[in-house]
A and B are shown apart, each in its own frame.
Chain A
Amino acid sequence: MSIINYAARVINFKVVYYGPGLAGKTANLQYIHRCLPEDNKGKMISLATGDDRTLFFDFLPVSATGVRGFTTRFQLYTVPGQTHYNMTRKLVLRGVDGVVFVADSQWDRLRDAVESFRNLDDNLKEYGLALATTPHVIQYNKRDLGAVAPLDYLEYLLNRGARRVPAFEAVAVDGTGVFDTLNTVSRMVLVKEFGQTQEARA
């Protein structure tokens, strides 16, 4: 749920990078943090364990272009992917405007991706949200590795809704597909907030 500060003409959106552990969510944020100019980004907060597993969440505030007189700010979060941190994932999902589901494309990680996707759906439902109505995209990460599943099978696993959502192949560590993913989900969030349908409703 976006937060609008009319006095400052600032609107804040919350985008959560969701996915199983070690899928590359933090790598996405780290690459975004490295690539954005200093003026457009805040400090990245990351709380990780000694083996680089996200312990709580990563947080990166970024500002984007103005839309209709408002300055847009996107707060990018990741969640800890490990299964026993579901309470944290639920907390991070609170007030979410858009979701990037990051899946590891390797064969032996597909089951985790499916479970995590199902977990995302369940957690959204607890906030009265539905995946079908929440702007979200899917990112198939680690496409540079050898033992990866073909794209059509990944789509079969994760993109089987009534409407196929945008999906991107990515290699987060070198930035491939990272900004395509971010820009698409950001624009989907903007459409939901400022789109013609919304205006017509207003």
Chain B
Amino acid sequence: MNLALFAFIAIVVVLLLLLAWALRGNGQHEESHSNWKTLEESGRSHVSFLPQMRQALKSEDEGFLARTGPSGLRARVNRERRRVALSYIAALRQDFEELMRVSRAIAALSPQVGVGQEFERLRLRASFLWRYRIIWLSLQTGFAPLPQLSDLSNLLSAYSVRLEEAMKEMGERAALVADMVSSPDRRRIHPI
């Protein structure tokens, strides 16, 4: 009986916390919006630095520095490379979150939302965050996970392609509606 009591109290606490979070103001959204602007102003996506990142994390460089560089240089370079790589994956995540945000806005505007598509997006997000955490941990512990880094960037690319298709479809639909509105017989307009 006590177990049931604790279980129900725990469920209620979780529900109330989720309720409070769900009903919280949308200040976070505004912040996210401003982040988007910053990204746009920067003019390029963070994914574009992948070749440099790959180059920077190559193990051959490490070997070369160990052979020819002064003592301590290799460790220092490794530390610096790790710091840069961590910043890079954090930026990739930021890119991904922005794409997610835009896709949610598109879904909200759409007259039909596919449950399968929405779950697919959730799955994609979970997958991205999982890889992100693995790479983050690997970098923190001193490993340089090149294959995983490529996977992460790949996922971001695949997602952006899907998003583009969705936006193209919406654009076509909007053009269709515009055509219908401009047609002489407006009584038969059924845009959606």
A binds B: no
- B interface residues (Cβ-Cβ under 8 A, vs A): none
